[in-house]
Chain A
């Protein structure tokens, strides 16, 4: 008989039957019954009704039966917490059992029962087990701490389990060390503070490295991951660590290998690039990476994603290993696509012949996605390896001859790029391309073809006919195609003005009058105006020489790459995103805005943040912001819409220039253009609205808070039923207070004041009740100061400094929100030691650096320093570099976040540049505002 019999019992009264069997006197019958219960449980049947009966079986010498009961308990204790208490005694007793197996099993199971009441009883046995004489029990207990932390984090901290866990790092048994590391890592991962629990110094490193040799493969992964966090003090130390890690590359477990690769890649950064040691190490790294590609496809996939990063960082590492990336017919598609990516990265003059013949082979395969990517890869090879361009082009032409629809389309897209890279070289093939005009149905291919026609209009006799044929269905086209068509026809007109006037008129009116798309309309207007005012200028702009496209595409931005290298072997390396970008709970910790140019997401994020920071003090007032906005002078510096596709290089300049003149000319001028109705809002709100908003918000005038923030209206009388509240925040001698003026504009006296603050980012809470001595008579006002503590509950607000307040009086309860100036959180002990400052500055990744300009500062460095010092911004160092004064300052916030700043003062310039770095970049905007306020006060 096998276990499958347990699945077949479907008759009625099953539970009842099991119940009687569980209470049977015969041990055998009891065990069989428990097995049946477990089987029912695992297939999802509800057998929780049997809880007391199963728990009764727990008191047994039979280890198997005990284990089965434990399995049951883990599953159902949550739903029957009161019943689960019944089991506690047995657990506590088992933790004293002479058999270490039973002790370990008991503490392990107890940790798995996620019931608060049980955890209370767990503390004592756990403390004992952490000191047990038997390493098997200790290592089980180490994991149990992480379990407990998951259920009740504060209890773990209060009971000192973390310290006990740290002590286990120096345990004599390597398995215990590995589990302690694993447990600490998990706790770290879960804790919101993000402060590393493990302090890695030379001594702990040594212990970990010793344990590394002797613990299980899984333990090795944990230890290697922990090791990779260490920053060696010099090259020599890095080398000796590397030497001790290198043997791990020969481990059979792929996870160990990849974690070792991570450590080595990271520590190699500390060494001189062309030293003998580094050369040797790179030689040793290649073979294990290659071996990973002979494993299961899932392992291959993860390995390939990581190799993609590694070859970007160190292209020399695998340059001879091209062949292992050749695609096999039966590779899963996810492996194929990754291999292809790496093949392109490794392509060089030395191997291009082989690569091309492989790519050509792939382009005839069945899988459409793969074929497309292969065709694209051929184009990328042409751009990357100049000597091969000709061969690539002829390969692409061969592929176009196959007439396979999607192959032709992809080929045309990449040929456009090849034209961009090697102008005036391969235009002879245009006629072949034109033959396939009818088969193109994808927007990207159509847009590329149109671009080619427009760009080479003078060589294509029937360019006007071809473009006209596209024009017929103009409104059904994708925006991308519409934009390209517009530009192409304008190009054509500028090249052959005589016979294409009608065409250009047609497309301009289609774009400006009949289209709802603002981008298209704007571009249409700009062209129109350019052409009508100064065709010469139009020619210069539209037909300007285009910059060549870069050799390598798809490269990961270097600072991100560096960060990802530190995350080799983790999920981040698979996603090619830093963990903060996708791991839950990390977002608040360090949201790094990638500062790469052209990263639109980043920019708009920042703007959004700025926007939120500027929220009006009283929530419903939001609307009032908009008229302010509209009154602003919009003669902002030219804004380049970075979102334009790269190949419109010529038009990029055109847009910004055109925009300037449009805006400068004002609405009336623009209205002179045909189809006037739509014009005025176009410039202001559409194309560049995001950019403009950013500029407006960036203006110092609106950043009104400062050192002595004047009282602001928080609650107008009409909303407060006659009570008007103005207020501000201040910090004196380390005490934060909220200064309120309550003005009674009502007819009745108001009394019985009370205040409550909602949870907020900094844990601000009133440390005493609101003390308003007597009722406030009508038309009287009272000043009150409320001392605040920073020990209240914390909840992240958006913006960070937002504070929601409720004030109660004899009339009603009133709610309003206000923004706290950041400087009230600068603590008095914020002066950092010089050396610490230096290393911290280096430690914080550069994408955490945020820069701001502070205008109109008429003070010298010392003046600034003194003024800031009064607000607890401490100057750590002052330097003079090439005539510029540099001030280095540190700030500590009440919640323990350190912010490091650098102020750059240029002589004769009233604008100073503020760069600040912090592990939590969210505070940057608030700090900037505080600086603005302090320096302008």
Chain B
């Protein structure tokens, strides 16, 4: 399975390595660096690299490369999923996953990696179990320890992680809260390609229901939807009972303690997706003397909700030197190095549509670019899931108390691109 892990920063330093079997020399990363040199940018490095004796499987997250080394035939997704899980765990423990954070918590990181994999086989990857084995660094606890006089940074627990063996490995036992609460966030991300004329080439929804459950004991929950037939495909947290869903379309589960992703779903391009914004654009390059740009953004089919957090990102062609624009709302920046034009608009007022127009100056002598740039759009619509998904009710069994319940809906732009 997984032999070794190397963590590499964006400048190509291997600043962390962990070997679960025999030690594999760092020089193995040279193959990775070769691939890096060949790729145009860091995102384009192929995730599977073959070397004469090893396979390197890598992911790129928060500008760090996590490179796993394998020697035998392994399921690559297994390794890739595991690497993502490692990063998730780090983020869960330390809030974010950066080089300095990892260095700051070196020993905990090392202990975590050791606990997550044994001889290359995943051992404990559930955050609930890990937290029982290795306590996350926590200011509160440090204070508590000082006050009670216990040794500081006593990070490894001496008890057996009970959850690891029970039928509900995702939940630790003996949970107790004074306030019992269960919150559910329904988030939908719209991935779309809009063509020049404003028509939708393809649009799909990737949805998640994340929950934050702080309930005492072993509660058994059921969650029902108003319109459960919407989903084209659905993937569940292991806690969800599949049989029950298949027969009754009811989510029945014993929730993991704390934060977790209960399910994710996909609504494919075959369903009609109502796009909440439109973009009117006119970008043109003349043979000489640069080009002009005129973009207006407006809301569309929002069911009365406000479109917020609107940001437009336009990667300009290489020949563009600068942009001289005026905006009626928000702020724009142009980075002459990355050629990225960024227009941060914020909330759209339907009565006064934001507009950006002006001149683009182009390197003198260079021919006009072959194609117009694409516009990447970000937006947020709160209090509504674009698909119309609604939670009907949440019931709790097995425990006597009456928890506080809440559901929040948000629609966001995922990978939303407008061709011009």
Using a CB–CB cutoff of 8 Å, the interface residues on chain A facing chain B are 2-4, 6-7, 27-28, 31, 35, 38-39, 42-44, 63-64, 67-68, 71, 75, 78, 99-101, 108, 111-112, 114, 134-136, 140, 143-144, 146-147, 150, 173, 175, 179, 182-183, 186, 189-190, 214, 216-218, 221, 225, 247, 250-255, 257-259, 287-288, 290-291, 294, 296-299, 301-303, 320-321, 323-324, 326, 328-330, 332-334, 354, 358, 361, 364-367, 402, 404, 569-572, 574-575, 579, 582-584, 586
Contact = CB atoms under 8 A, between A and B. Distances in A.
A567 to B, nearest CB: 8
Given A330-B376, A333-B44, A324 B269 contact: yes
Nearest to B266: A291
A68 B81 CA distance: 27
Contacts of A302: 47-48, 76-77, 80
A570 B48 CA distance: 12
Contacts of B111: 67-68, 71
10 contacts: A173-B165, A218-B122, A254-B77, A255-B80, A288-B233, A332-B43, A366-B317, A570-B75, A583-B72, A584-B71
Given A140-B118, A216-B169, A367-B40, A42 B47 contact: no
A881 B238 CA distance: 56
Contact of A252 (B76, B237, B318): B237
Closest 10 CB pairs between A and B?
Answer: A287-B233, A64-B156, A364-B371, A298-B47, A323-B269, A255-B77, A218-B122, A323-B202, A255-B78, A3-B106
Given A135-B165, A150-B119, 13 more contacts: A4-B104, A4-B106, A186-B120, A254-B80, A288-B233, A294-B191, A294-B206, A302-B47, A321-B269, A328-B417, A333-B39, A354-B201, A583-B73
A571 B43 contact: no
Contact of B44 (A71, A334, A366): A334
B158 interface: yes
B167 A214 contact: yes
A298 B376 contact: no
Contacts of A574: 48, 76
Contacts of B246: 247
Interface residues of B, number: 100
A229 to B, nearest CB: 13
Nearest to B235: A252
B108 interface: yes
Interface string B219-260: 000000000000011111110001101100000000000000
A63 B156 contact: yes
Contacts of B21: 114, 147, 150
Contacts of A64: 154-156
B202 A326 contact: yes
Interface in B346-400: 370-371, 374, 376
B270 A320 contact: yes
B330 interface: no
A569 B268 contact: no
B46 A146 contact: no
A112 B238 CA distance: 30
B37 interface: no
Contact of A221 (B16, B60, B75, B119): B75
A107 to B, nearest CB: 11
B401 interface: no
Contact of A247 (B242, B261, B370, B417): B242
Contacts of A328: 191, 193, 415, 417
Residue of B1, B47, B234 most packed against chain A (CB within 10 A): B47
A730 to B, nearest CB: 42
Contacts of B160: 99-101, 136
Contact of A3 (B81, B103, B167): B103
Contacts of B55: 571
Contacts of A186: 1, 72, 120-121
A334 B46 contact: yes
B306 to A, nearest CB: 26
B105 interface: yes
Contacts of B237: 252
A364 B315 CA distance: 15
A586 B104 CA distance: 43
Contacts of A361: 419
B179 interface: no
B294 interface: no
